[in-house]
Amino acid sequence: MGNLTINGLYQSFDRDDGTHLDVLNNLHLEVHDKEFVCILGASGCGKTTLLRLIAGLDQAKSGSIVLDGEEIGGPNPKVGFVFQEYSLFPWRNVIDNVAFGLEMRGVPKEERYATAKKYLDLVSLVQFSTSFPAELSGGMRQRVAVARALALDPVLLLMDEPFGALDAQTRNMLQKELLGIWEKTQKTIIFITHSVDEAVYLADRAIVLSPHAGRICREIPITLPRPRDRTSVEFAELRRDILDLISRT
């Protein structure tokens, strides 16, 4: 299962000059089991803030986040997170990074290595098991980060602009790979991006955050059949419509 319900979420930060910055304001969102949702929005509109709240890394000022009937109160093994920045532990090699969560759970070595191998295979990086993160390219590091998050078999996978720092070609390749993983593992995915193209390629539904009010201003279902063709007319039309919507907000 992976049903997420967010109600009346409000988050603000205290600025150094004593004023408050309202980032999220009375935000409502429903995400269904096995759904792939992309959250779009300009830089600084609160996307990361929202994702960190869902992850339980921060506490909201008010509102509730409920995953499968349970309120999120802190980091939770049912939720996996892929960070915007490189977050692999540089002192562990690839397989020990992927097996980290299982190690914390007390899974015996052989068993956790077997599981880690399975997920490394999913991102086609088994042959790099004993490499260190510093030896990998940016795209490979994010793929290992995906494998690491999946190794604990979360019901919900949160991804914060995971491919934002990569070149276009690597990015397209990883998007395709991610869709394959999503279909295989049947996770609910919330994926943040500021690329409309990425959202239209990946998502069942695109959600546009408004830059100032801190709430959702548009929800656009994307029903194009997969695999989606970036060069098709429908794809281009949808992309243009969403860009229009964003520029008008």
Using CB under 8 A as the criterion, which residues of the chain lie in contact with another protein when the complex forms? 55, 57, 74-75, 77, 79-81, 83, 85, 87-92, 100-101, 103-105, 132-138, 148-149, 152, 167
Q: Which of 114, 109, 181, 110 is nearest to 149 (CA)?
A: 181
- Binding to ligand ADP by CB under 6 A, coded x per residue (else -) over 32-51, reads ---------x-xxxxxxx--
Cβ 85 to another protein shortest distance, Å: 6
Residues 205-217 as b or e (16 or more Cβ within 10 Å = b)? bbbbbbeebbbbb
Q: Which is nearer to ligand ADP, 49 or 97 (CB)?
A: 49
Which residues are bridge partners to 207 per DSSP? Answer: 39, 219
Other C-beta atoms closer than 10 Å to the C-beta of 18 total 6
- Check residue 93 for interaction with Mg ion (CB under 5 A): no
- C-beta of residue 178 within 8 angstroms of C-beta of residue 220: no
- 77 upstream amide cis, omega within 30 of 0: no
Which residues are bridge partners to 10 per DSSP? Answer: 62
Q: Which is nearer to another protein, 137 or 186 (CB)?
A: 137
- Check residue 2 for interaction with ligand ADP (CB under 6 A): no
Three-state DSSP state, 60: coil
Instruction: Please report, for residues 23, 29, 196, 234, 246, the alpha-carbon distance to residue 218 in angstroms, rounded to integers and kept in the order given.
Output: 17, 11, 13, 19, 9
**Joined tokens for residue 25:** 């304001």
Q: Which is nearer to another protein, 33 or 103 (CB)?
A: 103
- Which of ligand ADP, another protein, Mg ion, none is residue 152 near (CB under 5 to 8 Å by kind)? another protein
Q: H/E element holding 38? A: strand 36-40
Nearest-angstrom CA–CA distance, 234 and 232? 6
Q: Which is nearer to ligand ADP, 46 or 101 (CB)?
A: 46
- Check residue 13 for interaction with ligand ADP (CB under 6 A): yes
Q: Which is nearer to Mg ion, 96 or 161 (CB)?
A: 161
- Check residue 49 for interaction with Mg ion (CB under 5 A): no
Among 4, 9, 23, 155, binds ligand ADP (CB under 6 A): 23
Among 35, 40, 48, 123, binds Mg ion (CB under 5 A): 48
- Check residue 89 for interaction with ligand ADP (CB under 6 A): no
- Which of Mg ion, ligand ADP, another protein, none is residue 229 near (CB under 5 to 8 Å by kind)? none
Nearest-angstrom CA–CA distance, 209 and 226? 25
- Which of ligand ADP, another protein, Mg ion, none is residue 104 near (CB under 5 to 8 Å by kind)? another protein
